[in-house]
Homo-oligomer: A and B are copies of this chain.
Amino acid sequence: MAVTIKDVAREARVSVASVSRALNGAGGVTPVTEQRVREAAARLRYVPHGAARSLITRRTHTVGALMPDLHGEFFSELIRGIDLEARSHGLHLLVSSSHDGADDAAAALRAMQGRVDGIVILSSPGVDAAFLKANLPEGLPTVLLNSDVKSGAAAVLNIDNFAGTYAMVRHLVGLGHTRIAFVSGPKDNFDAHQREAGFRAAMAKLAPDAPLCIVAGNFGESSGYLAARELLAAKTRPQAVFAANDMMAVGCLQAFKEAGLDVPGDIALAGFDDIPIARYVTPPLSTVRVRIAELGKNAMDLLADLMDCPGLSAASVHTLGCDIVVRESCGAHRGGTSTIAAKKIHRSSGR
């Protein structure tokens, strides 16, 4: 059925060893035989059996991507960034998305065992240091995305949530808003934590006299709506609301509209993520942009480094900066969109 290296060898009248050498460009073959082998292979439409090769080589030329069940832009852009860069490294991408909870993730991780040379893990609730210790095969190059585990067994690449929120607060304060309320994200979410930390730090530094107002949300649109209602019910209305992500900001916007408030005239609004919807709501939403595809690309590069040099210590933490995107919802603005880099990527440690 399938044509094997033996068939090529017979066709080219050489041994299988020579076919292998010729096709892999390993040298030790005369140019004329190499030519003959190549022609024979082409004639027979030979393509090497990946499994057989992997068996002896101990290389699959495949990397895994493990991610929670998420929809939309973030997922697709991340995969895009990873895939593009993987291909440029000659690697394939085995995706396991949409698992829910630690058990599910553990099963997916186990199933990838032996099928991949390295793995990118987007952290999610339940995927912590203990989880990795228990489920990650020892010695498998690993890159953790948006994670606070510092296991030493994996490189970590994070979005610079802290700098992003900080920069947005600075922008809002610069506009004269000091009473800024913050709508936080889920308790078990790493990004949410960092964003809140950034907000607290920025407020302490840039508007130390303003009362700190943080109301709970969960990254969902309706939680933003409810948070906004809560804020409006209080005696003094904040001058600006900064939601920890865009979907919640959209929920806030809805609540403000219903309350008859003008945004940004009566109250300014900002989000985080720069999802596509952000530019299409009225007024367009000021937000912090995360360059997701670039995050994927950097993760893949990191992983490729780890895979190339097995001796390389994995323990390193990297950060990808974000930009703040100024649109109309925060009141700084008439017309187009302007973008300000919050921080560039930098390596914070590593070897």
- Judge whether A239 is part of the interface by a CB distance below 8 angstroms: no
In the complex formed, the residue of B with least CB distance to A53 is B51
A83 to B52 alpha-carbon distance, docked (Å): 26
A76 to B69 alpha-carbon distance, docked (Å): 10
Count this chain's copies in the assembly.
Answer: 2
Which residues of chain B have C-beta atoms less than 8 A from A52's C-beta? 51, 55
Which residues of chain B have C-beta atoms less than 8 A from A55's C-beta? 49, 51-52, 55
A93-B94, A277-B280 are known contacts. Are A79 and B79 too (CB-CB below 8 A)?
A: yes
Q: Which one of B48, B49, B51, B96 lies within 8 Å of A92 (CB-CB)?
A: B96
A72-B72, A94-B93 are known contacts. Are A115 and B83 too (CB-CB below 8 A)?
A: no
Please state if A93 and B92 are interface contacts (CB–CB under 8 Å).
no
In the complex formed, the residue of B with least CB distance to A52 is B55
Please state if B97 and A79 are interface contacts (CB–CB under 8 Å).
yes
A75 to B52 alpha-carbon distance, docked (Å): 32
1/0 contact trace for A233-262 toward B, CB 8 Å?
A: 000000000000000001000000000000
Please state if B95 and A83 are interface contacts (CB–CB under 8 Å).
yes
In the complex formed, the residue of B with least CB distance to A110 is B47
A274 to B220 alpha-carbon distance, docked (Å): 19
A51-B54, A51-B60, A277-B280 are known contacts. Are A95 and B79 too (CB-CB below 8 A)?
A: yes
A95 to B98 alpha-carbon distance, docked (Å): 14
Q: How far is the CB of A289 from chain B (nearest CB, A)?
A: 15
A51-B55, A92-B115, A250-B280 are known contacts. Are A98 and B80 too (CB-CB below 8 A)?
A: yes
Please state if A95 and B93 are interface contacts (CB–CB under 8 Å).
yes
- Judge whether A71 is part of the interface by a CB distance below 8 angstroms: yes
- Judge whether A276 is part of the interface by a CB distance below 8 angstroms: yes
Please state if B79 and A87 are interface contacts (CB–CB under 8 Å).
no
In the complex formed, the residue of B with least CB distance to A112 is B92
- Judge whether A222 is part of the interface by a CB distance below 8 angstroms: no
Q: Which one of B48, B72, B97, B114 lies within 8 Å of A50 (CB-CB)?
A: B114
Which chain A residues in 123-168 approach chain B with CB under 8 Å?
137, 139
Which chain A residues in 100-120 approach chain B with CB under 8 Å?
108, 110-115
Which residues of chain B have C-beta atoms less than 8 A from A70's C-beta? 76
Q: Which one of B47, B76, B84, B93 lies within 8 Å of A114 (CB-CB)?
A: B47
A55 to B57 alpha-carbon distance, docked (Å): 13
A30 to B165 alpha-carbon distance, docked (Å): 62
Please state if B62 and A71 are interface contacts (CB–CB under 8 Å).
no
Which residues of chain B have C-beta atoms less than 8 A from A111's C-beta? 92
1/0 contact trace for A1-42 toward B, CB 8 Å?
A: 110000000000000000000000000000000000000000
Please name 14 pairs of A and B residues whose Cβ atoms are closer than 8 Å in the assembled complex, sorted by A: A47-B110, A47-B113, A49-B55, A51-B60, A51-B114, A71-B73, A72-B72, A75-B76, A79-B95, A83-B97, A83-B98, A93-B94, A94-B95, A281-B282
Residues of A within 8 A of B (CB): 1-2, 47-52, 54-55, 60, 62, 69-73, 75-77, 79-80, 83-84, 87, 92-98, 108, 110-115, 137, 139, 250, 276-277, 280-282
